[in-house]
Amino acid sequence: MARCAGAIGATARALKCSARPVARTASVAVASTSASPLSHLARPAVPLATRTLSSRAFSTTVNRSGGVAAPRRPDFKKLDADDVAFFRSVLSSPSSLITTIESPDGSWSAATSEDLIAYNLDWMDKYKGNSPIVLKPKTTGEVSKIIAYCYKKRIAVVPQGGNTGLVGGGVPVYDELVLNTEGMNQIRDFDDVSGILTTDAGCILEVLSNYLQPKGYMMPLDLGAKGSCHIGGNVSTNAGGLRLLRYGSLHGSVLGIEAVLPDEHGTVISVNMPGGGGAGALRKDNTGYDLKQLFIGAEGTLGVVTGVSILTPRLPSAVNVAVLSVPDFESVQTVFKEARAQLGEILSAFEFWDQEGLDLVLAHTGAKSPFESEPEGGRAFYVLIETSGSNKDHDDEKLGGLLEKLLEDGIIADGTLAQDETQALGLWSLRESLPEAAGKLGKVLKFDVSVPLSRYYELVEEARERFDKMGLVADGSIKTTVGYGHIGDSNLHINIVAKEYNEKTESAVEPWIYEAVAKRNGSISAEHGLGLMKANHVHYSKTEPAIALMQQIRRLFDPRGILNPGKYLPPVEHLPEEGQEKIK
Amino acid sequence: MARCAGAIGATARALKCSARPVARTASVAVASTSASPLSHLARPAVPLATRTLSSRAFSTTVNRSGGVAAPRRPDFKKLDADDVAFFRSVLSSPSSLITTIESPDGSWSAATSEDLIAYNLDWMDKYKGNSPIVLKPKTTGEVSKIIAYCYKKRIAVVPQGGNTGLVGGGVPVYDELVLNTEGMNQIRDFDDVSGILTTDAGCILEVLSNYLQPKGYMMPLDLGAKGSCHIGGNVSTNAGGLRLLRYGSLHGSVLGIEAVLPDEHGTVISVNMPGGGGAGALRKDNTGYDLKQLFIGAEGTLGVVTGVSILTPRLPSAVNVAVLSVPDFESVQTVFKEARAQLGEILSAFEFWDQEGLDLVLAHTGAKSPFESEPEGGRAFYVLIETSGSNKDHDDEKLGGLLEKLLEDGIIADGTLAQDETQALGLWSLRESLPEAAGKLGKVLKFDVSVPLSRYYELVEEARERFDKMGLVADGSIKTTVGYGHIGDSNLHINIVAKEYNEKTESAVEPWIYEAVAKRNGSISAEHGLGLMKANHVHYSKTEPAIALMQQIRRLFDPRGILNPGKYLPPVEHLPEEGQEKIK
């Protein structure tokens, strides 16, 4: 078999690859890491229960939802010792229940509110509730009994996975019961012919990735929070992440869902789950409405997802990573178009960040620049290209050809190619440490939007200009505005780093940013969901009839509105009363 | 760049490629067709209105739905001249209306029932209704007015696309109004950076493919009926087809839907459609329930799909096609596993048929066998492998490597590789003429199921044995049982060719075959849908709570049950009365 090292070497040399940390070797041929999907550096994996509060401004945390959270519904039951006694009778393990409610007869010892903080507070320190009870059932049967009880007693429930969400969807607003899935962490089945994995909702994404790797498969999604987030949460938020460009959305790859419905029986609905009755997990099944699709991205408002069946792709045998510097955003688009055309089926990620983003990362993570020289005029735009394929030589040749053409055409100014897995991880970390680096500089107002590519970066520029004009930067209240994201999916993350979360900065940003997105026919939530933050802002991206239909669907599934109340959609005026139709 | 023609040539020679029509050249190196997606031979493209009745046993055609069609609902209005007058006032073109209802004042000339047959009868001659009115609106606005009127007057409506369905979902059962989408045939928008195509529901799949080809894109689905079927029908039936293995299901690739809801306003709901209000077509949009998913595969029961936005993949620059002969079904599975591993990202189709299938095609199409020699023992199994990629040399090398390994391991007995596009089409036609060839032998009882691969072919064997034992073959009432399908998706088509459609053959086959599928946790409808044929059989593949939820969703969208009544799901006992909640 022929190798094309010569041609690729020439390309790489012309790219002036540096010998710095991320590209240490002197040899500059394109090298695939013949390994495994990259274990991207990202948020540290910390079990919820052991999270420390060291840096948390606990007492000053405020729930924010465009400034307004709907009041607590008075018809929801206040949790008490009788409820605790019932839940204890249902749970197979005493450690599945944590509560601050005192036991009248000493049959349990009450926890402190400190013990519950990790479940009441989101990881951004932005949303905080005051739930007195956290339940961590181990089986779908336990979840069913809990939900049936909550339905009958009108107890509000927040389904919670790894609590890595960014929009306040997974923590209580008031005193809702927290139903955490971390006790449901069993892999149920894996079929190594079809690649179909069936698992409890509480399995951690990275655990699933590690399970699949030796079998030659991988998860079709990857995201920064992989070390903590649960697959049930991924499905409930329709997580997108780094691989969507290649492997598509969960609407395509999730084949089956098991969920517990908020009705008097805690009905377990099983759609295309092996062993759940009816057809198992199949790539094709056209027997009725595809109910599982509704649960994907429903943020726990239609039922509690307890199990997932998902189609996993083959692990690529070759992975290449390159980071390129280009002079303007137009060139970013040109590189993307060329990459799609020339890399075709092996293009697996196309990420982007701006100069502000790189500066933040270099300043706050100790990483060194992957480039030999400073960009002309002090500013550039950066893209990360990843290829994943089944033949290393072919992939090297395709990527080499692309880079050669981009250099010849004068599109790219500088670039670095990873020579091994460590270097590939280093390049990925430039992109993936960005959220963390922003967090070190201040409190981050995070916006996750989709906008057509042609109008993608102008949104960042407009925001930056706006805050300059308003003097918000001069007085230090807004420190910087950073743009980065998944170009391949038109998904832009705008991070506005402020001194603190306060009304002044928030009102400068919201709803202006939603309006700016709506003007461009974009989405105000590309992959992070609505939660508490955007429940009242859906109209920026969906029409009135669509929202009305959504509200009716929610009411159909959850007639008493006990799941994640006050979140996801604008509230409806009336809840149906007893005796009205319920889910059978 | 290095070529590996030598190695591939050796492989191909060892495969004893014949010099017959499908692989005419003496040179046997693997050759990519550097062209275009293959214009697969399939059902002829005939506009509905011009279909002839030559071979149609019109008067004896019976509606079959496991033997039973629900009676006509007495509350549905009988269509009359007033209705015709209203529809005429709404439609921009007089040719958009065909009716057998006489005009009281001569303001229109009535059609004959012959004029309506193409809309009342399915293409298999199996399902026949007696609608006196066919409407072919040209715009969404016209559809809206029609549906609002039908809602108010309680007129039952059958949405119809190209009428290429196989389960009686697109033709009337009784006198329902036929709302055909062929007048809505405009391509609305194509974005050549993102590959997003937005189109009217009535565009023919092949027309869209031909539109995209010179732009370097292709439709993510392909099926035998491409010359006649409408994209709106594809979406409404969640059509699968030949490319699903590579490009995934419509649940992943459809980005936006416009539909008219069956309410008093004929509300137009637009979800992620450019120009429809709210966010446009985007790869990522997590703002509320993904409503469009419900319309995908709803067979027109929730609303009339009038527009579609779909993500189209890049046209591959290289396509290879090979047909292999293997001695048993176990080897089919081995070849599939090896193909997935070695072809990885370029594998675009993996099709299968049995000896009975090949015999039928050779006997009824005049095609010659692609193989030099007869299979040992007179029986073999056949697979078609297609690769689509961005680099011809790379693809040749990958496919060559696979074939070499399969030969070395003694897995494949014989094989043919297409040397050019004509030969590729020839090989494809072996697979694609199968349904047509079966139709020439007799009346075909078609079953479209999904079953796990390990139990895939035993279903065909069991069926065949059953009919032998019952003597149904000996007396000629069942002529043959053929198995073929999309192995890559576990999708099996069982065709049972009978002398005629009658109760004897049908009761021998149904519900036995559904039970046989259910025992294997398969789906009784992989890609063809439920329609009239399987409305009462959903329980073989879905659990009771799931079916109950589906019925409630249907009632929520269509409170008067005017869309496709009697089809898709088992009927619910009560329909809500006036004054109950309706879709806003």
Distance (Å) from the C-alpha of residue A518 to the closest C-alpha of chain B? 7
**In the CATH hierarchy, which fold is given to the domain comprising B5-34+317-434?**
Alpha-Beta Plaits (3.30.70)
Q: Which CATH class, in words, describes the domain spanning A187-311?
A: alpha beta
Residue A77's alpha-carbon distances to A85, A157, A264, B29, B529, in angstroms, are 15, 11, 16, 75, 45
**Closest CB to B547 among A288, A346, A452:** A288
Q: What is the mean pLDDT of residues B511-525?
A: 96
Please give the pLDDT value at position A68.
62
Cα–Cα distance for residue pair B135/B243, rounded to 1 Å: 33
Residues of A in contact with B390 (CB under 8 A): 341-345, 398
Cβ–Cβ below 8 Å for B542 and A344: no
CB crowding A14-32: b at 16 or more within 10 Å, else e: ebebbeeebbeeeebbbbb
Name the residue among B582, B531, B504, B489 with its Cα closest to residue B246. Answer: B489
The answer to whether domain B5-34+317-434 and domain B192-311 are alike in fold is no
Better pLDDT: A373 or A381: A381
pLDDT at residue B7, as a whole number: 31
Phi and psi for B297 in degrees, rounded to 5? 85, 10
Average pLDDT over residues B10-21: 33
Report d(CA B376, CA B498) in Å as an integer. Answer: 28
Q: In which band, very low, low, confident or very high, does the pLDDT at B357 lie, cut at 50, 70 and 90?
A: very high
Contacts of A422 (CB under 8 A, 6+ apart): none
> Would you state the pLDDT for residue A373?
85
Q: Structurally, what CATH architecture does the domain formed by B442-528 represent?
A: 2-Layer Sandwich (3.30)
B572 in A contact zone (CB under 8 Å): no
Q: Are the CB atoms for B100 and B116 separated by under 8 Å?
A: yes
pLDDT at B48 over 90: no
How far out from the chain centre does Cα B86 lie? 34
Strand A268-271 to strand A254-260: parallel, antiparallel, or no bridges (unpaired)?
Answer: antiparallel
CA distance linking residue B157 with residue B150, whole number of Å: 8
Please tell me which of the candidates A394, A528, A541 has its beta carbon nearest to residue B391.
A394
Task: State how far the Cα of B523 lies from the Cα of B520, in Å rounded to an integer.
Answer: 9
Q: Quick one: which of A255, A215, A254 has its CA closest to A234? A: A254
What is the edge-to-edge ordering of all strands in the sheet holding B318-326? B414-417, B318-326, B381-389, B347-354, B478-486, B491-498, B443-450
B281, B165 contact by CB (below 8 A): no
Q: Which of B193, B284, B340 sits opposite A523 (nearest CB)?
A: B284
Shortest distance between the Cα of A530 and any Cα of chain B, in A, equals 6
Please tell me which residue of chain A has the smallest CA distance to B340.
Answer: A314
pLDDT confidence of B61, banded at 50, 70, 90?
Answer: very low
- Residue B3 touches partner A, C-beta closer than 8 Å: yes
Residue % of chain B over a pLDDT of 90: 80
Identify the residue whose tokens are 């905080």: A128
Query: Position A76: which residue type?
Result: F
Residues in chain A: 584
The reported pLDDT for the residue numbered B23 is 29
Question: Which of B45-49, B145-149, B214-218 has the weakest average pLDDT?
Answer: B45-49
Q: How far apart are CA B296 and CA B305, in angstroms?
A: 9
Most confident listed range (A453-457, B137-141, B372-376): B137-141
Q: What is the sign of the dihedral through the CA atoms of B17, B20, B24 and B26?
A: positive
**Calpha distance B448→A334 (Å, rounded):** 44
Q: What is the mean pLDDT of residues B316-327?
A: 96
**Residue A5 predicted with pLDDT over 80:** no
How sure is the predictor about A2, in pLDDT bands with cuts at 50, 70 and 90? very low
Cβ neighbours for B515, distance < 8 A, ≥ 6 positions apart = B540
For A24, A341, A355, B462, the CA distances from A20, given in Å and listed in that order, are 5, 31, 19, 65
Instruction: For B226-270, give the secondary structure using H, E and C.
Output: CCCCEHHHHHHCCCCCCCHHHHCCHHHHEEEEEEECCCCCCCEEE
B60 phi/psi in degrees, rounded to 5: -100, 0
The model's confidence at residue B575, banded by pLDDT at 50, 70 and 90, is very low
Calpha distance A221→A245 (Å, rounded): 10
B34 touches chain A (CB under 8 A): no
- Rounded Cα–Cα distance for residues B336 and B342 (Å): 10
* Amino acid letter, residue B348: S
Which residues make beta-bridge pairs with B378? none
Give mean pLDDT, residues B147-156. Answer: 98
Distances (CA, A) of B525 to A164, A286, A561, B167, B568: 38, 5, 34, 10, 11
**Greatest Cα pair distance in chain B:** 80
pLDDT, tens digit (0-9, with 9 covering 90-100), for B492-506 = 999 999 998 888 898
Q: Residue B302 has which token pair? A: 């929730």
- Number of inter-chain CB pairs under 8 A, A vs B: 335
Tokens 């309506």 sit on residue = B116
What is the DSSP secondary structure assignment for residue B386, as one 8-state letter? E
- Name chain A contacts of B540, Cβ cutoff 8 Å: 278, 287
Position A501 confidence tier, pLDDT thresholds 50, 70, 90: confident
- Tell me: pLDDT of A248 over 80: yes
What are the sequence ranges of the domains in chain A? Answer: 5-34+317-434, 74-180, 187-311, 442-540
β-pair partners for A524: none
Report d(CA B122, CA B501) in Å as an integer. Answer: 14
pLDDT-based confidence at residue B56 (cuts at 50, 70, 90):
very low
CATH of segment(s) A442-540 = 3.30.70.2740
Q: What is residue A23's predicted lDDT score, i.e. its pLDDT?
A: 29
Query: Residue B72: which region, alpha, beta or left (left: phi > 0; alpha: psi -120 to 50)?
Result: beta
- Which of chain B's residues have a Cβ under 8 Å away from the Cβ of A253? 248, 252
pLDDT average, residue stretch B208-235:
97
* Pairing assessment for the beta strands A157-160 and A177-180 based on DSSP bridges: parallel
Q: How many CB atoms lie within 10 A of CB A335?
A: 24
Cα–chain-centroid distance for residue B197? 20
Is residue A71 helix, strand or coil? coil
pLDDT of res. B235: 98
Question: Class for domain A74-180, per CATH?
Answer: alpha beta
B192-311 in CATH: which number?
3.30.465.10
Substitution target from B191, B243, B287 for chain A, most A beta carbons within 10 A: B287
Dist CA B38 CA B33 (whole Å) = 9
Report yes or no: A398 at the B interface, CB cutoff 8 Å.
yes
Give the total residue count for chain B.
584
Angle between the N-to-C axes of helices A421-432 and A434-441, in degrees from 0 to 180, rounded to the nearest 10 = 40
* A156, A177 contact by CB (below 8 A): yes
pLDDT number for residue A274: 92
Q: Which residues face B159 on adjacent strands?
A: B179
**Average pLDDT rounded to a whole number, residues B540-564:** 97
Report pLDDT digits (tens) over A167-215. Answer: 999 999 999 999 999 999 999 999 988 899 999 999 999 999 999 999 9
* Residue B8 CB neighbours (<10 A): 22
Max CA pair span of chain A: 80
CA atoms within 13 A on the CB side of A229: 26
Query: Measured between beta carbons, which residues in chain B are less than 8 angstroms from residue A399?
Result: none
d(CA A568, CA A582): 21
In contact, B499 and B477? CB cutoff 8 Å: yes
Are the C-beta atoms of residues A232 and A207 closer than 8 Å to each other? Answer: no
pLDDT at A553 over 50: yes
pLDDT value of position B128: 95
What is the rounded average pLDDT for all residues in chain B? 87
Burial group, residue B153, by CB count within 10 angstroms (0-12, 13-18, 19+): middle
Q: Do A542 and B288 touch (CB under 8 A)?
A: yes
Read off the pLDDT of residues A468-490 as tens digits, 9 standing for 90 and up: 999 999 999 999 999 999 998 99
Rounded to whole angstroms, the Cα distance separating B489 from B451 reads: 9
Model pLDDT for residues A159-171, shown as the tens digit of each residue: 999 999 999 999 9
DSSP character at residue A340: H
The pLDDT value recorded for residue B68 is 62
- Look at A584 and B527 and tell me if their CB atoms are within 8 Å: no
- Helix runs in B103-200, H state only: 113-120, 140-153
Q: Mind listing the pLDDT tens digit for each residue in B457-489? A: 999 999 999 999 999 999 999 999 999 999 989
| A220 vs B: CB within 8 A | no
pLDDT value for A13: 33
